[in-house]
Amino acid sequence: MSVQKINAEPDSLKDYLRKIWGNKSLILAIARRDLKAKYAQTAIGLAWTFIQPIFAVIIYTLFFAGLMDFKTEYPYILFVLSGILIWNLFNYIFSQGSNSLGQNQSIIKKIAFPKVLLPFTKVIIGLIEFAITSIMLILLMFFLKVEPRFSMILTPFCLIPLIFFASGLALLLSALTLKKRDLFHIIPFLVNFGIWLTPVFYPVSLIPEKYINLIYINPVASILQLFRFCLFGEPLNAFILIGLLLSFLTFIIGFIFFKQNEDKIIDVI
């Protein structure tokens, strides 16, 4: 059995990463517990993960494709569903990850472990639900006879920057709200408006040409275009590199800031 030393000195980055690796099994254990609790005593269990995307697709398709006559190079229902899948994964990891400290107060008080692991448990659950709802997208693509592309096998890699960005924001919010509780209500409220700055249900062609590159400062918009490129061959804008870079930078900043403030968690939980 490995011995974990506890002292008043902050861990070096190397030691901190070693502790994270040593406690990696805790991520799966907590994720398994939370997944069971989320769907406990429900009649259809994980099938609930289909309900929200289905209703969102119906509403967006009827309103934007029907009333506003949005045009896309491939079926609009695939356009909007791909956007919903990416946005929901981002929103789940961010919103649930930033609340993970409050959800696990009993564990935090009883066990000594890197608290940064807690937001990562939401990544596991988010990916499971993403995989389930992706079945709906795959079936629709088959039904609508979308031509297979070699780039489709690269779609899982599009999720990497999304996970980093959402986790980085969750870590930042978790650390910031240790003292500024109001931020826990303000920031998620503002982030929810981010769907309007992300081409989830509208094509970027609607944006005036002189402003179109600015949308890719939003990492989720950049990741979404990369996702649609892999699935449907949607043209890539070189500015998505900025969004992808910001996603990784956000994680680095969030991780470091969380580590610096982790010792204060036990005092305020």
d(CA 108, CA 114): 9
Which domain does 191 fall in, by range? 44-261
CA distance 161 to 151: 17
- The answer to whether residue 4 is domain-embedded is no
- Does some domain include residue 196? yes
- As to burial, measured by CB atoms within 10 angstroms (0-12 exposed, 13-18 middle, 19+ buried), residue 41 is exposed
Q: What is the pTM of this model?
A: 0.89
Rg from Cα positions in the chain? 20
Whether residue 12 lies inside any domain: the answer is no
Domain presence at residue 32: no
- For residues 17 and 3, give the distance between their C-alpha atoms in angstroms, rounded to a whole number: 16
The predicted structure's pLDDT at residue 2: 47
d(CA 3, CA 18): 12
In a domain, 20, yes or no: no
Q: Is residue 6 a part of any domain in this protein?
A: no
Contact (CB, 8 A) for 162 and 88? no
Which residues make Cβ contacts (< 8 Å) with residue 147, sequence separation at least 6?
none
pLDDT at 85: 95
Question: Residue 143: inside a domain, yes or no?
Answer: yes
| Residue 255 near residue 234 (C-beta atoms within 8 A) | no
CB–CB of 87/200 below 8 Å?
Answer: yes
Three-state SS for 116? coil
What's the total number of domains in the chain?
Answer: 1
Position 105 in a domain: yes
- Residue 6, phi-psi category: left (phi > 0), alpha (psi -120 to 50), beta (remainder): beta
**Which residues, at least 6 apart from 13, have a Cβ–Cβ distance to it below 8 Å?**
259
What pLDDT was estimated at residue 223?
A: 97
Q: What does the pLDDT profile of the chain (269 residues) look like in tens digits?
A: 445 555 556 678 888 889 888 888 888 888 888 888 777 666 566 666 777 788 888 887 777 766 666 778 889 999 999 999 999 999 999 988 888 887 788 888 788 888 899 999 999 999 999 998 999 999 999 999 999 999 999 999 999 999 999 999 999 988 887 666 666 677 777 777 888 889 998 889 888 888 899 999 999 999 999 999 999 999 999 999 999 999 999 999 999 999 988 877 766 66
pLDDT of residue 268: 63
Q: How far apart are CA 98 and CA 166, in angstroms?
A: 9
